[in-house]
Structure 1
Amino acid sequence: MTYYALVQPTYPAEDTDPWATRAVALTSAHTDRVWTCGHLTDDRLLALHTTVYAYEFADRDAPTGFFAFPPGFPSRAYHSSEVTYFFDQGFPYTFRPDQRLLSDQLISYWATFAANGDPNRAGQPHWAPFNGRNAQSLAPGAVRGVDLEATHHCQFWSTV
């Protein structure tokens, strides 16, 4: 069995736009395998020694600024895309109102965590400490808990 045949049922590509959807399926598989599931393991190890607040940044329309993505290829929430929500990155972008709110929420979470070791503050969606699977999913209009292991197919990747 080829690697593609093994992975394709878990990450199917639609035929409506074969180039884009196959590329998205491939990058989703790569992100899960190399990034998210690996960090989940790291979070579990760190949680043996301290309280962990894990997150995934999930704004599919984050400003791209420094990176040139191929025409027609959706950038989604790429590595380090959340940095624009904390700092002026020196490239022109305008946040939508829901992205501006997310930026304010992220700054509040990080500042509160830096001040007292817990990101939670009254008026913000609650961020639960890591329990071995969960994280805070940070997206415009959708700051909520997420089961990383299930959402990112980590059980599947542990068998490949």
Structure 2
Amino acid sequence: MTAQVHVPSLFSRAGTVSALTLAAVGGSLVVPGTVPDAHAASAIATRAVNIAASKAGAPYHWGGTGPRSFDCSGLAVYSYKKAGKSLPRTTQQQYNASKHVSAATRRKGDLVFFHSGGYAYHVGIYAGHGRIWHAPKTGSSVRLEHIWTKQVWYGRVA
């Protein structure tokens, strides 16, 4: 018995489409006017990177969530909020809430977590080519920097 999918508004001329046939040919059902989830997430991540980049030179301030000063997790919160996605406030909470991905599958906009003893203590936003946007520490400012260690975890904002 084959499953039948009938969507009158999309397939009125084609009739009922067999989901099994659709799956067999590798097809997917995309409703006009909608954006697939992966594409939407990628667009949000790209916007978050661009927003973080626009804050280059903003001073580090512990507890800062913008728009004029930031701490590391505050920059991530601010950038993603402006891009349309909410994040928890602290680095560890952000790690816990993200979808964990490998270094091999990291993408622009993924969060990069620096850790010690199973605890994430610093976060940046992956900008590609081994670099992150981050607010490093007191006395510094938001900047683009190469990831200086392999002791990092990656998290994708869902």
TM range (shorter): under 0.3
Query: For the pair shown, which has the larger CA radius of gyration, 1 or 2?
Result: 2
Q: Give the TM-score taking structure 2 as reference length.
A: 0.26
Q: Which has the higher strand share?
A: 2
- Structure showing the higher helix proportion among its residues: 1
